Chain A
């Protein structure tokens, strides 16, 4: 499959299998039913991430849906107020835990803006951040597609895609030392350079991932069972995007081409060529197709970034911000003191407030940080994209059938760690 074939969302949609029309379904002729409460979750096979949807149903039809979140609340903001600026990185790993690098990068950029060292970040570090971030975006989308397919019975697809995700996580493990909780990014750059011989491995795995995606695409896009439950189900109107604060693939599936990487380029995204796939109807299928197409765009970004990445330092050379080299720490008194101060006090961020935003796996990942000049943030707020994206389901679900909750919820890609923080 060529790289831009998945961009043709419309051509995908044109694959039809005869009529599966339920418009002759007449509510008036239905048997009278009483409304009944039905709890989906918190432990339900399709409610990945632990969430409860309290439904009020009449027969199979949903009357109201009350989505109850918070089961994974881990006090991110409270903990962050007591941690040094660097100690917050491990917490950000656990926000959207299927794309931890993107959270790392988003937080680092916010603090760098407060420190006014944004334009001093070495170019190599910026490219590394783009590379690890885009790998994370691919793993995020792969998780969503794989889990979504599995919940509709396509178990084979799940294995194909999760296998690809594992390859990519192994690559990130090689970079950072941890499979999932990377904590790889630091304020001022990244903690270590890419390992020797790593870029060819990435290209190799991208080729294998393409094959896996092509297999999954064939198994799903031309699959009547899958399409019947995706097409025209869970439609989100384009007009709802602004009012509900929808971003990411959920907003783009409705036709709003808002992508932070394009509209407000950060790092080196303005030097890389990629497109923003958008849908037309905003149904589950569009969200599936958008995510699939975005994976191919991320691969394009990765290939360009690998070709363009310059040699050079991977972290800023400023002892107020970044730890000095180990060699200096042990041999010079200044570096020793700098090391000690950074570890014990943490770096000092001048007083100020910042709202910094990047494109996370699920949309606009914002960090609203208030500093009062101490070694710890006064407030470190995360604007979680899937919090807003999930809220819109309270409007979308009523009127659908119980079985439609599964694909609709799946394609929102609610990640508990990020939604509940």
Chain B
């Protein structure tokens, strides 16, 4: 449906920046090198042929035990052209950092905070990288696959000996 987006990406960027592209169930996707993340996002937003200027969604996927473990996933849309694309960038557990997209789309702010909150991926240059859904005292990253579903972290703990 929006093959043109992938063609434009492959035209503009080298194979070291756009690692892989594909299409499945009518969704076009491109795997981006983390170093080129912001550059690719800016290109897609500003390219007059594409105008993928609408920020739709940003999240992470934990693909444990694959390495790099996490994928940061971005969905974009063009209101005028009705194109859509999904960008993925792999980040490892040890170096779970990627450039922020807040300067590109202000709406990325809360979505990146959520990705950080749930997966512990840090967004370099984010103006306010706090937890958003969990409370500040929360330990760990709940949507990681190695975080047990049944684990409880009560905010108020009972002192030993109290009823």
Contact = CB atoms under 8 A, between A and B. Distances in A.
Contact of B105 (A75, A114, A245, A395): A245
Contact of B107 (A73, A114, A353, A388): A388
B56 A245 contact: yes
A352 B86 CA distance: 14
A355 interface: yes
B75 A353 contact: no
Interface on chain A toward B: helix, strand, loop, or mixed SS?
mixed
Interface in A393-421: 394-395, 420-421
A387 interface: yes
A128 B151 CA distance: 40
A319 B27 CA distance: 27
Q: Interface residue tally of chain A, by bracket?
A: 35 or more
Interface stretch (B12-20, B89-97, B132-140, B153-161): B132-140
Given A258-B79, A391-B107, A242 B133 contact: no
A306 B53 CA distance: 38
Interface of A: 69-70, 73, 75, 77-79, 81-82, 113-114, 116, 240-246, 256, 258, 263-264, 352-355, 364, 366, 368, 370, 378-379, 381, 383, 387-388, 391-392, 394-395, 420-421
Nearest to B84: A355
B143 interface: yes
Contact of A113 (B26, B62, B73, B79): B26
A392 B109 CA distance: 10
B133 A256 contact: no
B55 interface: yes
Q: Please provide the 7 A-B residue pairs with the shortest distance between their CB atoms, ordered closest to farther.
A: A244-B107, A70-B133, A245-B107, A383-B57, A242-B54, A245-B55, A391-B110
A245 B54 contact: yes
A379 B57 contact: no
Contacts of B84: 355
B132 A70 contact: yes
B25 A368 contact: no
Given A368-B75, A388-B107, A114 B25 contact: yes
Contact of B82 (A263, A366, A391): A263
Given A70-B132, A243-B106, A378-B61, 15 more contacts: A69-B132, A70-B135, A73-B133, A77-B118, A82-B149, A116-B25, A246-B107, A256-B79, A352-B25, A353-B29, A355-B27, A355-B86, A366-B75, A379-B62, A387-B114
Interface string B102-127: 00011101110010001000000000
Nearest to A251: B79
B25 A354 contact: yes
B162 interface: no
B142 interface: yes
B59 interface: yes
A245 B24 CA distance: 24
14 contacts: A70-B135, A79-B149, A245-B56, A245-B107, A264-B82, A354-B25, A354-B27, A355-B84, A366-B56, A366-B57, A381-B59, A383-B75, A387-B110, A387-B114
A366 B130 CA distance: 24
B102 to A, nearest CB: 10
B106 A244 contact: yes
Contacts of B111: 245, 387-388
A296 to B, nearest CB: 25
